């Protein structure tokens, strides 16, 4: 028996965090989630798997475009024509989605109910799938606790959309503990919600397949689904299959000592090459972070567009389609001292004052108000990421901003010194 386990497909959801650049490969980005899902169906048909399990978050919650649902129906139709059933569990996004409620799905698709755990079996296969869909967006109950006892003699699969416990980057929905799952007596837990692939346990297997296509720099590395092979009622193999068309990677390059722009590029070049190789033929989406104390600092800082173009040129020389998402120059000039209050001169006094201001919570009230004013004009989603629940500026954001501001002043001082 062989089946596909996937989750977090987020059909038609946009790539996050890219300020539109003219050189962005829009055609590649467009439909990337659809192409990934079609590739999954292609694989199912080609390999003649016995069924497909989708462990939640087919759609983005607020996404209302009915064509997205129609696309899903069409893909399920392809599976139906090949006689391959699909078991769908609704995650937090699906629960919120209008599409989930309005679509009519082909007969080969069975959806786990949201009121209580439900068990599906398949004719001719000793398999039982247990699962409970999310009824609402925020399910904070432990759903797994109510999952039924395993069906004796069958290969039992628990399908669950959960953040487990302590997946910090993900909303803490349907929390449960690993030990709880492994103790349930199931053979395989097909989980969803966490976007990074993880095999938390073997025999019984507890698997997050990760999402199907990375959509931001936070979702790096190969993305896809898992093909699970079951022999004699036991998991024989869990094999990840990558179907992403765009592959995200963060490249941190220490260019300390690079004497000029060219030398810095020379250090970056092999790293880009390695990242492109690692992208395995996908369109690489690369964020380059240059670090270190280097004489090239000033040029790199002064010429961000040139730097971006050069990096892109390097990348394009190694690959026809590649995307430099961002080049972050986090370097320092070699001779720039740590500006601090300890310096005995006016600069020392200046930084003493600045550090005092940063430390003094009250001193920056005006600034906070001023910054909050801007944040108040941002769209709600964006605003939420920058404000506390009480509507104040997020302290960690303020702290980061002040750090950057201090560094910026440091650079200005450095430039002023250089102007002497």
Partner 1 sequence: MRIERLMLERFGRFSDAAIDLSGADVRLHVLLGDNEAGKSTTLHAIGDLLFGIDVRTPYAFQHNYDALRIAAEIRAADGRRLLFRRLKRAKNTLRDLDDQVLPDTALAPFLGGAGRPVFDGLFGLNQQALRDGGQDMLDAQGDLGRMLFEAGSHVRGLSAARKALEEEADRLFRPSAQKRVFNQALGAYQEARKRVDELIVRAEDWERNAAALDEAEAEWAEIRARRETIGRERARANRIRQLLPHIAALRGAEAALADLTDAPDMPADAESRFNDAVLRLRLAADSLERADAAAEAARAEIESVTVPFALLDRAPEIRRSGEMLGRSRDQNVDLPKRKTECAETVKRLGDLCRRLGLDLTVEQLVVAIPTDTATADLRQRISAHAAIEQAVRDAARQRDEAALEAAQAAQVLAAVPAPSDMAGLRATLDAVKAHGDLGARHTGLVQAHDAVRTRLDTRVAALPLWPGNGRDLAAAPVPDGATVARFAKILADAELRLSRAEERRAEAQAAIHDADRALARLESEGTVPTAEALAEARALRAQGWALVRRRYIAGEAVGKDEIAGYAPPDGLVAAYERSVAEADALADSHAREAKRVERHAHLTGDRAAAARQSEAATVEAEAAAGTLTAIEEEWRAAWTPAGIAPLPPREMEGWLAERARIMEEGERLATLTGERDACAALIAQSHVALRAGLPSDDGVGGDAPLAALLRRAEAILDEAVGLAATRGRLVTRHDERADAAARAAAALARAEAARDKWNADWSGALAAAGLPATWTPAAVGAALDLWQEVRRAADTLGQLTHRIEAMESDQADFAALVRRVVSEVAPDLADVVPTDAAPRLAERLKEAEAAARRRIAAGERLEAARAEEAEARVAHEAANRALEMLRGLACCQSDEGIVPAIRNAARKAELAREVEGLRTTIVQNADGLSLAEALAEADAADPEAVRAAVNRLDEEDTALLDRTRAVSERLAACKAAQADMARGHGAADAAQDMADAEAALAECARRWMVLKSAALLLGQGIDGFRQAQQGPLVTRAGELFGLLTRGSFAGLTVDYDERDRPILLGRRPDGARLGVEAMSEGARDQLFLALRLAAVELYVGAAEPLPFIADDLFVNFDEGRAGAGIEALIALGAATQVVLFTHHAHIAELATAKGGAGVVAVQRIAA
User: Hey, which residues between 165 and 224 contact partner 1 (CB under 8 A)?
Assistant: none
How many residues sit in the footprint of partner 1 (CB under 8 A)?
73
CB nearer partner 1, residue 11 or residue 157: 11
The binding track of 30-49 with respect to partner 1, each residue x by CB under 8 A or -, is xx------------------
2-6/224-231 β-pairing? antiparallel
Stretch that binds partner 1, among 119-127, 231-239, 242-250, 343-351 (CB under 8 A): 343-351
CB nearer partner 1, residue 252 or residue 400 = 400
Taking residue 339's Cβ as centre, other Cβ atoms within 10 Å add up to: 20
Sequential DSSP letters for 164-211: TTT-TTS---S---HHHHHTT--SEEEEES-SS-EEEETTTEEEE---
Number of continuous H segments (helices) and E segments (strands) in the chain: 13, 15
- Is 420 an interacting residue with respect to partner 1 (CB under 8 A)? yes
Can you tell me the distance from the alpha carbon of 109 to that of 111, in angstroms, rounded to the nearest whole number? Answer: 7
Please give the distance of CA 113 from its chain centroid, rounded to a whole number. 28
φ/ψ of 275, rounded to 5, equals -65, -40
Shortest Å, Cβ 162 to partner 1:
27
- Size of the chain, expressed as the number of residues it contains: 420
In angstroms, the CA 6 to CA 105 distance is: 18
CA separation, residue 157 to residues 33, 112, 141, 186, 234 (Å): 26, 13, 20, 6, 11
* Closest CB to partner 1 among residues 269, 293: 293
289 binds partner 1 (CB under 8 A): no
* Per-residue x/- track, 369-388, partner 1 (CB under 8 A): -xx-xxx-xxx-xx--xx--
Of positions 47, 165, 262, 417, contacts partner 1 by CB under 8 A: 417
* Segment interacting with partner 1, rule: CB under 8 A, options 14-22, 118-126, 133-141, 244-252: 14-22
Confirm or reject binding of residue 246 to partner 1 (CB under 8 A).
no
Name the minimum Å distance from CB 390 to partner 1.
Answer: 19
Stretch that binds partner 1, among 23-31, 38-46, 164-172, 226-234 (CB under 8 A): 23-31
Out of 48, 64, 252, 266, the only residue in the binding site for partner 1 (CB under 8 A) is 64
Return the residue of 67, 136, 140, 149 that touches partner 1, per CB under 8 A: 67
Compute the half-sphere exposure of residue 151: CA atoms within 13 Å on the CB side of its CA.
Answer: 18
Among 35, 61, 68, 158, binds partner 1 (CB under 8 A): 68
Euclidean distance between CA atoms 263 and 252, whole angstroms: 16
């Amino acid at each position: 028996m062989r089946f596909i386990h996937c989750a977090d497909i987020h059909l038609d959801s946009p790539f996050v965090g890219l300020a539109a650049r003219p050189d962005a490969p829009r055609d590649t980005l467009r439909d990337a989630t659809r192409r990934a899902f079609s590739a999954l169906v292609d694989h199912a048909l080609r390999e003649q798997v016995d069924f497909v399990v989708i462990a939640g978050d087919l759609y983005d919650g607020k996404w209302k475009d009915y064509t997205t649902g129609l696309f899903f129906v069409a893909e399920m139709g392809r599976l139906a024509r090949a006689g391959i059933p699909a078991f769908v569990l609704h995650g937090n996004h699906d629960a919120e989605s209008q599409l989930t409620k309005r679509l009519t799905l082909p007969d080969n698709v069975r959806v786990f109910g949201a009121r209580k755990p439900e068990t599906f079996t398949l004719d001719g296969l000793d398999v039982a799938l247990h699962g409970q869909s999310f009824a609402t967006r925020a399910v904070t109950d432990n759903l797994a606790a109510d999952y039924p006892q395993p069906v004796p003699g069958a290969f039992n699969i628990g399908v669950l959309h959960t953040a487990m416990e302590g997946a910090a980057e993900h909303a803490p929905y349907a929390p449960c503990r690993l030990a709880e799952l492994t103790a349930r007596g199931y053979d395989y837990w097909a989980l969803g919600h966490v976007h990074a692939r993880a095999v938390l346990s073997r025999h019984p297997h507890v698997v997050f397949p990760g999402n199907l296509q990375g959509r931001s720099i936070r979702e790096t590395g190969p993305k896809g689904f898992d093909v699970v092979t079951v022999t004699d009622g036991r998991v024989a193999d869990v094999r990840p299959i990558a179907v992403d068309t765009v592959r995200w990677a963060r490249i941190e390059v220490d260019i300390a000592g690079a004497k000029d722009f060219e030398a810095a590029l020379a250090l970056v070049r092999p790293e880009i090459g390695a990242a492109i190789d690692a992208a395995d033929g996908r369109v690489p989406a690369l964020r380059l972070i240059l670090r270190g104390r280097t004489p090239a600092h000033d040029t790199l800082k002064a010429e961000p567009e040139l730097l971006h173009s050069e990096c892109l040129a390097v990348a394009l020389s190694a690959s026809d389609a590649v995307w430099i998402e961002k080049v972050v120059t986090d370097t320092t000039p070699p001779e720039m001292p740590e500006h601090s209050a300890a310096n005995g001169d006016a600069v020392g006094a200046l930084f003493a004052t600045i550090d005092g201001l940063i430390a003094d919570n009250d001193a920056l009230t005006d600034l906070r108000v001023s910054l909050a004013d801007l944040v108040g004009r941002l769209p709600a989603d964006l605003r939420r990421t920058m404000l506390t629940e009480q509507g104040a500026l997020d302290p960690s954001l303020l702290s980061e901003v002040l750090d950057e501001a201090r560094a910026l002043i440091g650079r200005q001082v450095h430039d002023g010194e250089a102007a002497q």
